[in-house]
Structures are given as structure tokens and as C-alpha cells.
Chains A and B, each alone.
Chain A
Amino acid sequence: MAEIIQEESAKAGGHKRPKKRVPHIDMTPMVDLMCLLIIFFMLTTAFSKAKVMEIILPEKIQDPNQEAPKISASRTLNIILGPDNKLYWYPGTVKEEDFKNLPPLFETNYSPTGVRQLLLERNRTLARKIAEFNQEVVSGKIRISQDSVQKSISQLKKIDDTGPIVLIKAYKDANYGNFVDILDEMNICGIARYTFMKIAWYEVKMVETAAGITPTASTSAK
């Protein structure tokens, strides 16, 4: 702006004026202020949005005559979230009548060598199918969009009939982190069928025997 005005005045007036200097504004304070604001906004902005893990639980049985769906015992795997970040499991089912001689619980943990190995071993066929499918997508053999990848994987899960049916139960001293961890393992291992269930009284007993908690102590702690 300043320069244009200068030129015009040179044309209009005949006599020479001392050359006007472009006014120089010191921008340092402005820069300082902006720096402060930028730092402030960068620190307060929540850039990374939290992620969610979806879980769908079976509907509650309202009708007392309606029976729970039958599942084959050979495919059933019970996982019980124990106290103190312990994890127990047993295969098959236990009948309520057999409470005198309950099967022992196997202890495992949340590490990749613990429950993940257990689940992968039982879910080998499906896990391999999913892993191979992912490999092919990554290497470019199959060209599909991200949405259809998810759809194909859920289709693979749907037709699977050899993988375990995992029933997750929680002892009362378990914490929320355990719950999320175990659901996460289900997703990592690609388990097709899993659900969360209320723990049965005989299973409480099994956990208490395995963890060495005396039932009276645990009830008073409650």
C-alpha cells in the first residue's frame, strides 16, 4: 500500500520529496502471542479420539419357560475371571448335580503365552483362515475395500463350526480391566462365538477352591 501511494505522489507533485520509508511494524510481540496460543491449543486439543469395543450380549430370558440354547459340550470352553488378575478355565460343562466332585480349574494368565495360546490352539482352523485372508489382502492378491474385509471376516466366523464356544464368567473380585482384556483376546484370536454369562454358584465354589479363598472370608469381604 505504502509504495503505491508513494508513486502517485511522485507523479502529482513536481518537487522531490525525501524518499518515504516503508513503515516497519515490529511483529515480535505478535509472534510471541501466537506462539503461546498455539501451544495452548495444541495441549488442550484432544486429537486422538477414544476407541470403542463393541459387545453384544444375548437378550435376557424373560419367559421362564424358555430354555437357554443348547450348545455342544465338546466345543464349550469356560473362562472365569478370577480375583487378583488370575484367570481360570475348564472345558465342557458341569452339571449342577455334580457339585460334590467338581472338575479342577486350570489356571492361566492374560499374557500372549497364556490364554491366547489356549484360544489359538482351539481356534486354529478359523484363526488360520482369517490370518491367511488378511495376508492376501495385505499382499494385494485380493483387492477389496476395508468394509468388505470386515464383512468377509464376519462371514468366515459365521460359517465356522469347529472353533470353541467361549463362555466368559466373572468372579466377583475381578475388575473391569480383566473383562476388557478377555474380550480383547477374543477379538485377537478371532473367536467366532463367545458370550458373557452370570457365574453359577458351583463355579464360584470352583474358583474359591482353586484360589484358596475360604468362602466365609469372601462373603464377609463382600
Chain B
Amino acid sequence: MPKIKLPTKSPHIDMTPMVDLFSVVLIFLMLTTTMRQPEPAPVDTPFSISEKPTPDFNKMTFLLSKDGKVFMNFDNGPDTLLKYRPKILVEMGKRYGIDFTEAEQREFEKYPSSMGVPIEKMKDFLALKDAKSRNAFQTGIPIDSADNQLAMWILYARKVNPNIQACIKGDSKTSFNVVDKVLDILQDYNVNRFNLITSLEAAKINLDEIQQ
């Protein structure tokens, strides 16, 4: 009786469908991704029940770190065709007698995250290339009444883009003094509507809870 020869070849799995699927997922992720921008200071936002999403554009975000530094960001990340960011920088430069070159404006426009650099040091900050040495300049925007640069940023941001909305992103441990000061400055410039950035946390009250 002839022996039945078992095939010794290793079974070959056709990976084409797998590759197809992976490519689809990959392309989807690549198109939808918005990279998480590294913030100059770590911030744990407090929780709230609000389900309103953050606006995508026309916003200025104030980042209030735990140690009371104030950072600011316009329109988040790379700008649209309107190029608000360089315009705001030029206005700020005019106010403080600093002339920003084209290259510096472009650098400012490209900067992906919040900035907390006093305007006098902005030129040095923009000249640097790597993130680490840049972070050394991130000392927070001065907000005291003697040198209130934050107020000027707000003024020119609103002048360049009248539709800009104020968002406040604070750490839950940030002292209220800082928040209060920022709110105060904003109100001085007639901004009375604020978006407080929070993380979602579900909380609901039931009918019977009220009728107790």
C-alpha cells in the first residue's frame, strides 16, 4: 500500500485582505489625526458635565499653569489663509517698538503650541530651533499692571480678528488669584463670554432626588 504523503510545506496564509484592511485604517487615521500638541506646562483640566465641544478656530486660549504662569495661543496650531498669528505679532511689535522680520513672523505662525514669552525676548525665542532651549524662554506672559502684556495681546488679537473667542484652560490646582486676574483683564477689554475648557464627567439628577 502506498503511503499517503502529507504535504510538508508550511501553510501559507494569504495576507492580502489583512493588508487591505490595515491600509484603510492607516489612511483613515492619517487623514483624521490632529497631533496632540505638547503644551509648555502640564495641565490637568477640571471636570464638568458640559458636552459642548471646543471651537475649532477663532479662539484664543489662555493656558494657566499650576505655578501661576500664563501662556497664550491663537487659533490653535497652523493658521488658515487669514494669517492672524503673524498679524497679531506685527501689531504687538509696533506697540513695543520691535520689528519682526518675515522669517520671524513665519516662525511665529508655525509654532504649534501655546506661548508664554515676554515680548522683549520674542526675537531670541523665535531664533532658536529646538524645542528644549525654547522652553527655557517660556516664563509666562507678564500680567502685572506695570507691564500688562497679556492685555495688549488680547487687544490686538481682538483687533485683528473681531470674532475671536476666549477659552481658558487651567489646571484644577491653579490658584484662583491668577484666574481672577486674567478674567479681570479680559473684562477690561469687554470680553464677557468665556469658554472654560474641561473634561467630561457624567452627572445627572433624577426626578425622585428632587421630590425628596
Residues of A at under 8 Å CB distance from B? 24, 27-28, 30-31, 34-35, 37-38, 41-42, 44-46, 48-60, 81, 112, 116, 120, 124, 127-128, 131-132, 135, 170, 172-181, 183-184, 187-189
Contact = CB atoms under 8 A, between A and B. Distances in A.
Contacts of A42: 29
Given A81-B176, A124-B210, A178-B176, 13 more contacts: A34-B19, A46-B34, A50-B169, A50-B199, A51-B53, A51-B54, A52-B197, A55-B194, A59-B190, A112-B203, A132-B207, A177-B174, A180-B46
Contact of B33 (A24, A45, A50, A60): A45
Interface residues of B, number: 62
CB-CB nearest 3 A-B residue pairs: A177-B172, A41-B29, A52-B195
A189 B196 contact: no
Given A55-B196, A127-B210, A131-B210, A176 B26 contact: no
18 contacts: A24-B12, A31-B19, A46-B34, A46-B36, A49-B54, A51-B52, A56-B192, A57-B187, A58-B192, A175-B172, A176-B173, A177-B171, A177-B173, A177-B174, A180-B170, A184-B47, A184-B48, A187-B48
Nearest to A55: B194
A179 B194 contact: no
B26 A41 contact: yes
Contact of A184 (B29, B49, B52, B170): B49
A107 B29 CA distance: 50
